[in-house]
Amino acid sequence: MSTADAPIRPIPIIPGPAPRLLLIQAPYYEAIVSGMRHAAQAMAAETGASLDVVDVAGAFELPAALRMAIQSGRAFDGVLILGCVVQGGTDHYEHICRETFRGVMDISVETGLPIGFGLLTVATIQQAEERSADNHHNKGREAMFALLMQVALRRAWGLA
């Protein structure tokens, strides 16, 4: 399936009260992350969800911030992670991406907390711009869709 064939995702139906969500973003590439955040916020608003937003310095800090959010004891129904890593001329990119993905996945599996993962890992800024544009291919929107689906599933199974 090409990007042009990407499905248009419907707004998930969430049983119960409007979800309380947290967005942890690494706005190093502000224009890119802002485009993803706006699309995610629009989808969240359509469900009535509240969305608190916090910033971290970069992608590497995302898993630790996620862990701190869980440890804070605040009652979030789910967390959205947004950021962008652009490949450079060294292997730094591979290390940052691998460890960030692993850190978030470990926390997700360990806790069962619904997490939407919108960390772009791209070769060029142009690729990031395409994935953060104001259309239905926006990866912030897709990550929010995944998060809301997990929140709905968790509630349907009586885990929330």
Tell me, what CATH number does 99's domain have? Answer: 3.40.50.960
Q: How many domains are there within the chain?
A: 1
92 is catalytic: yes
Q: Residue 37 falls within a domain, yes or no?
A: yes
78-109: pLDDT as tens digits = 999 999 999 998 899 999 999 999 999 999 99
Given a cut of 80, whether residue 160 has pLDDT beyond it is: no
What average pLDDT does the segment 120-146 reach?
Answer: 96
Q: Residue 3 falls within a domain, yes or no?
A: no
3 state DSSP class of 100: helix
The range of the structural domain enclosing residue 101 comes to 22-155
User: In angstroms, rounded to a whole number, what is the distance separating the alpha carbons of residues 33 and 31?
Assistant: 6
Q: Residue 52 falls within a domain, yes or no?
A: yes
pTM for the structure as a whole: 0.94
Q: Residue 7 falls within a domain, yes or no?
A: no
Count CB-CB contacts under 10 A for residue 111.
Answer: 13
Give the CA-trace dihedral at 9, 37, 55, 19, to 10 degrees.
Answer: -50
2-28: pLDDT as tens digits = 556 667 778 888 999 999 999 999 999
Q: Residue 16 falls within a domain, yes or no?
A: no
- Write down the pLDDT at residue 3: 52
- The single residue of 38, 92, 136, 137 carrying the catalytic annotation is 92
